[in-house]
Amino acid sequence: MSSDTPATSTRETIETDRTGYVGRITLSRPDAMNTFSTQLARELDDALVELDEDPDVRAIIVDGAGDVFSAGIDISEHADHESKEAYREWVAGMEEPFHTVVEMRTPVVAAVHGHAAANGLGLVAACDLAVAAEGTQFGATAPKVGLFCMGPAVPLMSSLTRKRYNEMLLTGELIDAETAREWGLINRVVPEGEHVDRSFELVEPMVEKSPVGIQMGKQAVSAMAELDYHEAIEYSNERFAELCTTDDAREGIGAFLDGKPLGTEEWPGE
């Protein structure tokens, strides 16, 4: 279950490749600041699902082509709709990736540069981890055009305290990368131009360890975050018991007790 050969595919608004056990998705509308068009949102969601279903992928990095990560929704599509129901369907499609990222089994890391605004901000908040280049700006900027970042607010509320997410949502102002790190929106601030390479470094420890353990654990943590304390413990017991029955657990524990922990290539996986 190993591949050292990069596997690359290109959609119209998304580029996808895989190097070893790491999948990479690049938002590729640089002339439009990688804004979420209906097509980009759909292709991003498809790419996430495709990589999540690939047994050779143990982590995914999402970055943006050109000068920015993503400047939000492509508001030029606003005029394409008239009724409330049409707008509801439009925005639901834009935010489907927010559902997918938290439901999928594979950890997702945002590699951010330039700007991450509105839906771009929401995508960063939805990802499991985030690395940002120095100088990156983050903002819930929709009020500047008569809208509000309601969808991005959902993952943002899981990342920040109430006062901090309200400051971003209600002011629509930008914060810098260091502030985003201090607030808990991102994990690392790295030198400009190094955000993708440093994201690969961040996921390296993940791909060395049990893929089944990481995958089941990520899904369990996402589910437990929505439960109250006692329900979460009961749920964790159920999922941990299930994990104990897997080949990864049996072989991983046996190898460790023998003094020969399993390496990256040795995990049995699914």
- In total, how many domains does the chain have? 2
In a domain, 228, yes or no: yes
H or E element that contains 18: strand 14-19
A 10 A CB-CB count for 97 gives 28
| pLDDT single digits (tens) 11-36 | 899 999 999 999 999 999 999 999 99
* Structural domain boundaries enclosing 253: 211-266
- The answer as to whether 42 is a domain residue is yes
* Rounded Cα distance, 10 and 28, in Å: 9
Looking at the structure, tell me whether residues 184 and 64 fall in a common domain.
Answer: yes
Backbone φ and ψ of 23, nearest 5°: -90, 150
Largest distance between two CA atoms of the chain: 66
| Residue 34 sits in the same domain as residue 47 | yes
DSSP string, 30-72: GGGTT-B-HHHHHHHHHHHHHHHT-TT--EEEEEESTT-SB--
Instruction: Tell whether 203 and 74 lie within a shared domain.
Output: yes
Look at residue 10 in the predicted model and tell me its pLDDT.
66
How much is the pLDDT for 8? 59
Is 70 exceeded by the pLDDT of residue 165? Answer: yes
Nearest to 27 by CA among 142, 135, 115, 99: 115
For residues 196 and 215, membership in a common domain is answered with: no
User: What's the CA angle centered on 14, arms 12 and 15, to 5 degrees?
Assistant: 105
C-alpha 49, offset from chain centre: 12
Same domain, 168 and 222: no
The reported pLDDT for the residue numbered 7 is: 56
Residue 183 placed within a domain = yes
Mean pLDDT of the region 186-210: 97
Which 3-state string (H, E, C) describes 100-163?
HHHHCCCCEEEEECCEEECHHHHHHHHCCEEEEECCCEEECCHHHHCCCCHHHHHHHHHHCCHH
145 and 227, same domain (yes or no):
no
Residues 235 and 164 in one domain: no
Are 61 and 24 in contact by the 8 Å Cβ rule? The answer is: yes
- What is the average per-residue pLDDT within 57-76? 97
Res 1 pLDDT > 50: no
H or E segment at 190?
strand 188-190
> What is the structure's pLDDT at 9?
65
Q: What is the pLDDT of residues 93-117, one digit of tens each?
A: 999 999 999 999 999 999 999 999 9
What percentage of the chain carries pLDDT values higher than 90?
95
Place of tokens 């055009």: 145
Residues 136 and 226 grouped into a single domain: no
Contact 151, 95 (CB under 8 A): yes
Residue 241 included in any domain: yes
113 shares its domain with 194: yes
pLDDT at 109: 98
Residue of 91, 112, 261 whose CA lies nearest to 174: 112
- The proportion of the chain whose per-residue pLDDT surpasses 70, expressed as a percent, equals 96
* Same domain, yes or no: 190 and 222: no
For residues 238 and 151, state if they share a domain. no
Residue (of 249, 204, 168) closest to 21 by Cα position: 204
pLDDT category at 269 given cuts 50, 70, 90 is confident
Neighbours of 266 (CB within 10 A): 13
* pLDDT at residue 6 greater than cutoff 90: no
pLDDT exceeds 60 at position 5 = no
pLDDT given for residue 2 in this prediction: 40
Instruction: Give the other-Cβ count within 10 Å of 229's Cβ.
Output: 7
Q: What is the mean pLDDT of the chain?
A: 95
Joined together, the tokens standing for residue 245 give 């029955």
Cα distance between residue 264 and residue 209, in whole Å: 6
Whether 184 and 90 share a structural domain:
yes
Structure tokens that stand for 193 in this block: 């131009």
